[in-house]
Structure formats: C-alpha cells, structure tokens
Structure 1
C-alpha cells in the first residue's frame, strides 16, 4: 500500500522534488524512494513509522525531512548519508538516543527539531552539526547539557523547555551568536556567569525554575525580552545580622597581596610570576571587589544588589527589581556598601 501511495503521489510529476504522505497510517517507509534521486522535500508526518528504510541513503539531494509524530526510537544512522539536509523534524516520536554516526554527514543541517521525545542525554557527536542555527529539545528528559553543544558557534536559537536540567555549563559563553534561549520549567538553581558574555542574546525565558539571584553583569545583557515568572527571586527585605571578624587563610592573604601588587604592575612580581605557572593559574581566578577595588581570591561575602531592569527590556509583569550577585572582599567593605546592596545570610 505504501508503495502505491508513493507512486500515486509522484505520478505525472517527472523529476519529483516534493513528496507528502502525512497521516496515511504508514508503518513502513516506501523502498521506491531510491527512484527519486532529485527529491528535495519528504514529509511523512503523523504516521506509524518505527524505522527508516535503507533506501533513504540515496536521497543525497534531500533538504527537508519531516518524520514528526511517528514511532522512531532513535535518531537513525541513515541520517549521515543525507549530506544536503537543511531541516530535520523528528518531534513527537519515542527517541531516547542517537544511533552511532547519525551526525556524521549532517554538516549542512541548520534546523533540528526533537521536541516531545524521551532523550535523557545528548552525545558528544552533536558538535559535528557545525551549521546548526536552530535546535529545539522541548519536552524531553534531559538532565544535563554536554559542553560539546556549546561548540555550535552558529547556533542562534536553543530551546530546552520542560526538561530536567539542574544547571547550565559555563561553556555556554561560547555560543556567541545565540539570540534566543528558552529554559522554561526545569530545575535550574543558578545561571552561570558565562551567560553574561552572550552579547547577541535578545530573548531569555527562565520561567518556572528555582533561581534566586543572577550572576554579576547580568543587567548589562542587551535583552529585548526577559521572563522569569515562578522563580523564588530574592526580594528587598532587610534584616539585622551579626557580623563576624574577617579571618583569612595564609593562602588568601598572600594571594591578595600578589594580585594587588600585580595590578600596580610591580616589576619584580610581574617578572617572577612568569616562572610559577601554578601560582599564575591560581590568581587568574581572582575577583575584584566593587567597593574598594582590590582583588581577592576565594574568601568573600556574597551580596545582592537590587537593580531596576533596563527600560528597553520586555519583562515579566511583577519584576520590579533584578537581584544581581555581588561578591565583596570583607566585612569592612560591607559596612561601606550603598543602600541597594545587602549581604546574603545562608541558613
């Protein structure tokens, strides 16, 4: 029956470039596809297909493949032969894995839609999708994002709504072209500082997570839309707390001295530090106190500064102040803070 449907679909069309067989209750892909080497668009949405036929490997001119709402359990290995493919729709299947080599030939793929599947992880091979600009993985079971995903330098839109993510890798900062980032309804507690490096980001939606505070510099993003409903954001609610004495380790004292002398371009230390790569790597993790302007290493006070969202942001209805993380070097500086900066008491 499937073969007859295909023949009927292409009959009288000469060099057929488009085949659409949506909602035909097809269980098996037609093997006669190999007779259509010039096919550009194949749409088999809303059927009962559980496997891709080997003959699909002959469709080297195919640009769009839609197998949405079928019964596939993996991203098929045969995809690697579709070297001209631009758009691949695999939404609404039962996909829980990528077959080995599935990404090998998809160098020209720009859109991949895997919404509503059962993926719990992504393979390192996703880094081979060099041309990808749109990746949609909504409504899966992903628990983490591989750092290899952050190597897709052309990615402009990344949708990860309704998954089981608890964190975002710091390497997200490498997605320099990212414009739209959707993370609705996950379990994310903290956004990495790397997100503040996404200078082209225009839409960010983190609604329904467990975020309390945003990383330093977050307010400098050039967002047009920002949504954060149903997150337990810090609110301005001052309370009196006992202050402790500043007690630093010997490593912290030494590191602070070295970093602050290097900031003054101390000639002896600048020469000596080149001979000690371990020390250089350690102090490269230093931070600058926004109150006194001096450097510190690993002992700090976590504070929050409440900042009005930029006027050009389209924001969640109830967002009046954005709580942004600030790290300061000592209780002495805490006593010199401005009225919108508060220490955070961790219970």
Structure 2
C-alpha cells in the first residue's frame, strides 16, 4: 500500500520536492523513498510507522521531515545522513532513546520537536546540533538536562514543560541568545544564578514547580512575561529570632583569609595558589557577602530580600513581591542589614 502511494511521485521523476502521506495508516516507511534524492519535504505524520527505513539516508536534500504521531521508539542513527534537514517533527511517538550518532550530521537543524514522548534523558551529543534555535521536549520524563545542551549558541527557545526536572545546570548562562524558557510542571527547587546572565530572555514560565526563592540579580532580567503561579514562594512573615554567635572552623577561617587576600591581588598568594590545584578547587566555591562584600566559603546566613517585580513584566496574578536569595557572611553583617532584608527560618 505504501509503495503504491508513491507511484505518482515516482512518475513525476526524480525531481519531486514534496511528498505528503498524512494519515494513511501506513505501517512502514516506503523504501522507494530512496529513489527521490531531490525530495525537500516529507510528511508522514499520523501513521503507524515503528521505525525509519534505511533508504532515508539517500534524502540528503531533505529540509523538512514530519514523523509526528507514529510508533517510533528511538531517534535512529539514519538521521545523521539528512545533512540538509532544518525542521524535524517527532512528536507523539514512543521515543525513549536517541541513538548514538543520530545528531552527527544534523548541523543545519533549526527546529526539533520531541513533544509527547518517553525520553528520560538526553545524550551529550545534543551539542552537535549547532544551528538549533528551537527545542521542544514537553511531556516527556526528563529528570535532568545535560550541561552540553547549554552550549547551543543559537538556541532561542527551550520548551521543557511537564517533565520531572529537579534542577537546571548553572551552564544555562551560556545560552546567550535564549529568549523563551518554559519549565512548567516540573520538580525544580532552585533556579541557578546563571539564569540571571540571560540578557535576551523575554519569557520565563516556571509555574507549578517547588521554587521558594530566586537568585540574586533576578529582578534585573529584562523579561516581558514571567509566570510563577503554584510555587511555594517565601512570603514576608517576619518574626523575632534570638541572636547567635559566629562559630567558624579553622578551614573556614583560613579560606576566608585566602579568598579575601586573593580579591586584593596579594602577589604572594596569587603565585602560591597556582601550585595547589586542590586548594584552587576548594576556594572556587567562594561567595561574597551582600553587606560587607568580603568573601567566605561554606558558612553563611541565608537571607531573603523582597523586591517588587519590574513594571515591564507581564506577571502571574497576585505576585506582589519577588523573594531574592541573599547570602551574608556573619551575624555581625546580619545586624547591619537593611530593614527590608530578612533571615530565613530553618524551621
């Protein structure tokens, strides 16, 4: 049946540019596709196709491939031969894996739609999709995304709604062209500080996660739309707490001294640190106090500052104040804080 459906195209000769076989109850891809090397668009959505035929490797001029709503279980290795492909629709299948090498030849791919599948992870090789601008992986089972995804320099839209993500890598800061980020209905507890470096980000939707507080500088994002309903955001409910003393370990005292001396460009320590990679690794996690500006390593006071959302943001209903995470180095600085800065209860 599938072969007969292509008779008309084959009679037109090898110059056929478009083949549409949408909803034909096909149970396999027609192998005669290999006889149409100049094909530009192939639409086989809404069929019963369980796998891609080997002959597809001949379609090196194909720019649009739609295999949505079929029975595929993987993104096959044969995809690497479609070197001209710009748009790939694989939504509504049963895809649970991406074959090794599948991304190798897709250097021109701009849009990849993997919505409504069964993916639990993405391979590191996703970073080979150098031209990708829009990635849709809504309604899958992802628990994380590889840091390599964050090196797709042209990516402007990332759709990860309705997965099982618990965190976003700090490397997201490298998606300098990202304009739209959708993370609706995941299990994300914390947004990385790197998200605040996304200067072109205009739409951010994190509704339905378990986020309580946002990273510093979050209010500086140039968003046009921001949605965060159904997150357990920290509310301004101050109460008195007893004063505590600062008790630091020797490691913390030493680390603070080294970090602050390095910040002042102490030549002796700057030279010495080059010979101790273990020490460099330890102090790489240092942070600086929002009050005094001095550096510290692991002992801090987590505070919250409530700021009004930008007037330029289109926001969720009832969002009046955005809680920002602020770190202080000591109770001494805590006592010198601004009255709008609150400690966070550990109870």
TM-score scaled by length of structure 1: 0.95
Out of 159-168 and 8-17, give the one that drifted further: 8-17
Show the counterpart of 1:247.
247
Alignment size in residue pairs: 347
Does 1:88 pair with 2:72? no
Show the counterpart of 2:114.
114
- Per-residue deviation, 1:13: 7.4
Specify whether residues 275 and 48 from structure 1 end up closer, same or farther in structure 2 by C-alpha distance, changes over 3 A only: closer
Q: Name the SS for the 1:303 alignment partner.
A: strand
Show the counterpart of 1:217.
217
* Alpha carbons 2:10, 2:36 under 8 Å: kept: no
Show the counterpart of 1:207.
207
* Alpha carbons 1:20, 1:43 under 8 Å: kept: yes
In 1: Cα distance, 2:182 partner to 2:74 partner? 24
Q: Name the SS for the 2:125 alignment partner.
A: helix
Q: Name the SS for the 1:191 alignment partner.
A: coil
Structure 1 residues 144-155: aligned runs within 5 Å: 144-155=144-155
Show the counterpart of 1:18.
18
Q: Name the SS for the 2:3 alignment partner.
A: helix
TM-score scaled by length of structure 2: 0.95
* Alpha carbons 2:26, 2:48 under 8 Å: kept: yes
Give unpaired runs (5+ residues) of structure 2.
none
* Alpha carbons 2:155, 2:178 under 8 Å: kept: yes
Give unpaired runs (5+ residues) of structure 1.
none
In 2: Cα distance, 1:61 partner to 1:248 partner? 65
In 1: Cα distance, 2:306 partner to 2:55 partner? 60
* Alpha carbons 1:9, 1:20 under 8 Å: kept: no
Cα-Cα RMSD: 1.7
Q: Deviations over 1:51-99 (max 9, x none)?
A: 1111111110000000000111111121111111111000000111112
Q: Name the SS for the 2:74 alignment partner.
A: coil
* Alpha carbons 2:14, 2:36 under 8 Å: kept: no
- Per-residue deviation, 1:235: 0.8
In 2: Cα distance, 1:267 partner to 1:21 partner? 71
In 1: Cα distance, 2:314 partner to 2:200 partner? 16
- Per-residue deviation, 1:216: 1.4
Structure 1 residues 1-347: aligned runs within 5 Å: 1-9=1-9, 11-12=11-12, 15-347=15-347
* Alpha carbons 1:10, 1:19 under 8 Å: kept: no
In 2: Cα distance, 1:95 partner to 1:280 partner? 43
- Per-residue deviation, 1:11: 4.6
Out of 215-224 and 136-145, give the one that drifted further: 215-224
